[in-house]
Chain A
Amino acid sequence: MPNSRMLTLQQSTRFFFKMLFWLPVTVFSLLLIYNTVPYFSFSKDFSFIEERGLLFENGVYHASFYIHIFAGAFCILTALVQFSRIILKKAKPIHRWSGRVYVFAVLFLGAPTGLYMSFFAKGSVWERSLFLFMAGFWFISTFYGLITILKKNVLAHKVWMIRSYAMAMTAVTFRVYHIMFYLLGWDHLKNYELSLWISVLGNMLIAEWIIYRKSKSYLQTFSTL
C-alpha cells in the first residue's frame, strides 16, 4: 500500500503535468480568440482576406467565414471550462450551459460553414479532403457526445467530447506548427500543408492516447474491486 508521501508526490507530479498541458492550451486559445476579434471590424485589410479576395466576393463564402470564426471563438472559449473537474463537481450548471453553447456552435454554425469553406481551402485536393474530413468528424464527434450524455452514458460522452475538442483545437495547434516551421525557414505553402496534416493527425493521436489512458485507469478500477 503506498504511503502518504508517495501519494503526495504522485499528486503533485500529476498536477505538474496537467499544468504543463493546460497552461499552453489556455494561453494559445485565448491568443487565438484575441486575434479573431479584429476580424469583426469587417475590414478587408487582413492578409488572410486579401489572399482569398476572389472567394470573399461570393456572399455565401463571406458570410460563412464570419459565422465560422464567430462559432470557433465560442467553441474554444467554452471548451476551456468543460474539462475542469472542479467546475464539473461544484458548478454543474456552468458545465451544462457552456456545453450547450459548444454543441450549438459546432452543430449549427462551425461545422456546416467549415464544410462549405473546405471546398475552397488552400492546398491540393488532399488538403481540401482533410478539411472536409475535419468538418465531418467534428460534427459527428460532437453529435455523439450529445447523444451519449442524453442517454446518461457519461464515459462515452467523455470519449466523444475529447475527440470533438481535439478537432476544435486543430485551429490552435495549426498556428503553433505554422510559426515553428516558419522560424525554421520553410516556404509558406509547404509549411501550410505540413502544419495542417500534423495538427489534424497529431491532435487525433493525442486524443486517442488520452482516451486510452483514461479507459485503462477506468478498467483498473474493476480489477481492484
Chain B
Amino acid sequence: MKKLLFIGAVLMVGASIYGFVDYSKTKHSKRFNDLYKETETKEQPAAQPAIAEEDKPGSGLKTEIPEVKKEAVKNSNVSKPAIVKKPVKQKIQKPRKISYKSFSRAPLREPVIEKTINIEPAKKESVKTKEQ
C-alpha cells in the first residue's frame, strides 16, 4: 500500500514539474496569450443586443424609401427591379434559456436567430385609417 501511495505522490510531483516546465515554454507564445482573450472579444457582440445593419436607426428609413419610390414608379408606368419587396432581416436575441447541455464548463452563449420580416405597406395604411 505504501508503494501505491508513493507512486501517487510521484505522479503529483511529476505533474507539477512537467506542468510548470510546459507552461513556462508556452507562456511566451502569442497564440497562448490570446487563447482566452479571443473568446472575450468574440462574446462582446453577443452580450450587446444584436442589430442587423438594415435595422440600425438610420437604415430604418431605407426600407420605407423604396415604398415611396414604388408609388412613383406606378405613376410613371416604368418597370423597375423588385427592390421594394426586399425582406428585412432582423437578428433577434432570444431570451436566455438553459438546457441540460448547459451544465458544462463550456462558455454559455446567448442564442441569436435571424428572422426575415416582410413589411407590407397595405397593412400600415389600414392601421393608420383605423387610428384616424
Contacts and interface: CB of A to CB of B under 8 A. Distances in A.
Q: Tell me if A's interface is mostly helix, strand, loop or mixed.
A: helix
Contacts of B11: 107-108, 112
B100 to A, nearest CB: 6
Given A150-B1, A182-B98, A112 B106 contact: no
A51 B39 contact: yes
B103 A175 contact: yes
Interface string B22-58: 1100100001100110011001000100000000000
A78 interface: no
Contact of A120 (B4, B23, B107): B23
Interface stretch (B12-20, B59-67, B75-83, B123-131): B12-20
A71 B126 CA distance: 66
B107 A47 contact: yes
Contact of A35 (B5, B39, B104): B104
Interface of A: 28, 31-32, 34-35, 46-48, 51-52, 54-55, 58, 60, 107-108, 111-113, 115-120, 122-123, 132, 135-136, 139, 143, 146-147, 150, 174-175, 178-179, 182-183, 185, 187-189, 191-192
Interface of B: 1, 4-5, 7-9, 11-12, 14-16, 18-20, 22-23, 26, 31-32, 35-36, 39-40, 43, 47, 96, 98, 100-109
